[in-house]
């Protein structure tokens, strides 16, 4: 697996040149800002909360699978 660097929660492969990583980060930031500008703040907040709930559900499934694995 390629080594990564963590930048504000995002992992960017270190196999990419530093200039490329900087451009990818800037492009991601600009894209996020443009998307948030298209929707009302309530939508953006709801989307974040929904994503959190989805991740919590995934965690619950993984925890359950681990428990079953340990029981076997």
- Are residue 23 and residue 51 in the same domain, yes or no? no
* 8 conformational bin, left if phi > 0, alpha if psi -120 to 50, beta if neither: left
Q: Are residues 6 and 33 in the same domain?
A: yes
Q: Return the DSSP state at 6.
A: E
Regarding whether 20 and 6 lie in a shared domain, the answer is yes
Give 46-57 pLDDT, tens digit per residue.
999 999 999 999
Note the pLDDT tens digit of each residue in 8-43.
566 666 788 889 889 999 999 999 888 888 999 999
What is the pTM assigned to this prediction?
A: 0.54
Asked if 34 and 1 sit in the same domain, the reply is yes
Which ranges in 1-72 belong to alpha helices (H)? Answer: 18-38, 41-71
Number of structural domains (the chain) is 2
32 and 49 belong to one structural domain? no
The residue with tokens 């990564």 is: 4
């Amino acid at each position: 697996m390629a080594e990564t660097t963590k930048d504000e929660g995002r992992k960017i492969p270190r196999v990419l040149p530093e200039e490329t990583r900087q451009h990818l980060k800037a492009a991601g930031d600009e894209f996020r800002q443009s998307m948030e500008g298209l929707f009302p703040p309530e939508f953006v907040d709801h989307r974040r909360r929904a994503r959190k709930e989805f991740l919590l559900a995934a965690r619950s499934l993984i925890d359950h699978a681990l428990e079953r694995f340990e029981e076997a």
